[in-house]
Amino acid sequence: MLSLLLLPRVAAAETPEEKGLAIAQEADRRDTGFSDFTADMLMVLRNKPGQESTRKIRIRMLEVEGDGDKSLTIFDTPRDVKGTAFLNFTHKVGDDDQWLYLPALKRVKRISSRNKSGSFMGSEFAYEDISSQEVEKYTYKWIRDEVYEGKQCFVIERYPVDKKKSGYTRQVSWIGKSEYREWKVDYYDRKKSRLKTLTVKGYQKYLDKYWRADEMNMVNRQTGKSTRLVWSNYKFRTGLTDRDFDKNSLRRVR
């Protein structure tokens, strides 16, 4: 009875911050429970004159209950970096743990996760863009509702909790109202000017619940360079375990 009375009052008193957080939590809740997935990714780097170079990458992701996800990123091309692997343990609070495997030396190298604003393998994606997006890493604010490319969207702003380490002061995100899929993100740099824009295309539904995009395009507004990620071969619940994400797994990567 008490809760029934309280509910409308909370909703009525919802601030833009609370609404923003609620949207982020709902998006996160809808993507919970996938356990693990593997996918192939083609990374296409494009410079201002339009010259392209490509990287073939494999991704393995493990959902971790109560903490951030674990991911393993394996490079197949260019051939000179074949077998290079990047292991990331995302944490809801505090720095991520990251290791890089250098196959020529058989060396597993711990890397500093404070480099999160650094370029991921020469692309327009920073480490912080590709690591798993935990709700706790940002504070939120709902800005407005807007139609984006014919889709009813919430427009929310995200502010990094760890302001010193992030390369951004804020991110503006367009999230579809029907399925809570993210269609577009504007990234603002430390000088508060727009740095990059991410657009997402071709969402497909897996296991009748989890939406994954076929294509993501990150355009750097300041340099004119861009990076396109073309995803394929998504497989969910493949039976990956913690063993597939320990330091030995880096040495086994092919």
Partner 1 sequence: MRTTIFLLLAVGLMNAAAATTSELSGYVAAEGSVFFNSPLSPEQERHSASLALQPEFYHEWENGSGFLVVPFARLDSADPERTHFDVRELNYLWLADRWELRVGVGKVFWGTTEFVHLVDIVNQTDLVEDIDEEDKLGQPMVHLSIPRDWGIVDMFILPYFRERTFPGRKGRLRFPLVVDTDNAKYESAAEEHRLDFAIRYSHSIGDWDIGIYHFNGTGREPTLLPDSDENGEPVLIPLYEQINQTGVDLQLVAGQWLWKLEALYRTGQADDFFAAVGGFEYTLVGVAGTAMDLGIVAEWAYDDRGDEATTPYENDAMFGFRLTLNDPASSQILAGLMQDMHSSARAISIEASHRIGSNWKATLEAWAFLDAPEDDLFYSFRDDDFVRLGLAYYF
Instruction: List residues binding partner 1 (CB under 8 A).
Output: 45, 47, 51, 53-54, 77-82, 95, 97, 105-108, 110-115, 117-119, 121-122, 167, 223, 243, 246-248, 252, 254
Name the token pair of 148. Answer: 């984006």
Q: Of 74, 48, 31, nearest to 207 (Cα)? A: 31
Q: How far is it, in rounded angstroms, from Cα 208 to Cα 113?
A: 34
Radius of gyration in angstroms for the set of CA atoms belonging to the chain, rounded to a whole number: 19
The string of DSSP letters for 36-74 reads EEEEEEEEEEE-TT--EEEEEEEEEEE--TTS--EEEEE
Pick between residue 177 and residue 247 the one whose CB is nearest to partner 1: 247
Pick between residue 114 and residue 212 the one whose CB is nearest to partner 1: 114
State in angstroms the smallest separation of the CB of 133 from partner 1. Answer: 20
Q: How far is it, in rounded angstroms, from Cα 135 to Cα 25?
A: 7
Pick between residue 121 and residue 216 the one whose CB is nearest to partner 1: 121
Pick between residue 37 and residue 245 the one whose CB is nearest to partner 1: 245
Indicate the residue type of 247: K
State in angstroms the smallest separation of the CB of 39 from partner 1. Answer: 17
Q: How far is it, in rounded angstroms, from Cα 91 to Cα 94?
A: 6
Name the token pair of 81. Answer: 């970096």
Pick between residue 122 and residue 202 the one whose CB is nearest to partner 1: 122
State in angstroms the smallest separation of the CB of 96 from partner 1. Answer: 10
Q: How far is it, in rounded angstroms, from Cα 193 to Cα 182?
A: 21
Query: Scanning the structure block, which residue is given the tokens 């809808």?
Result: 30
State in angstroms the smallest separation of the CB of 90 from partner 1. Answer: 15
Pick between residue 15 and residue 223 the one whose CB is nearest to partner 1: 223
State in angstroms the smallest separation of the CB of 62 from partner 1. Answer: 15
State in angstroms the smallest separation of the CB of 32 from partner 1. Answer: 24
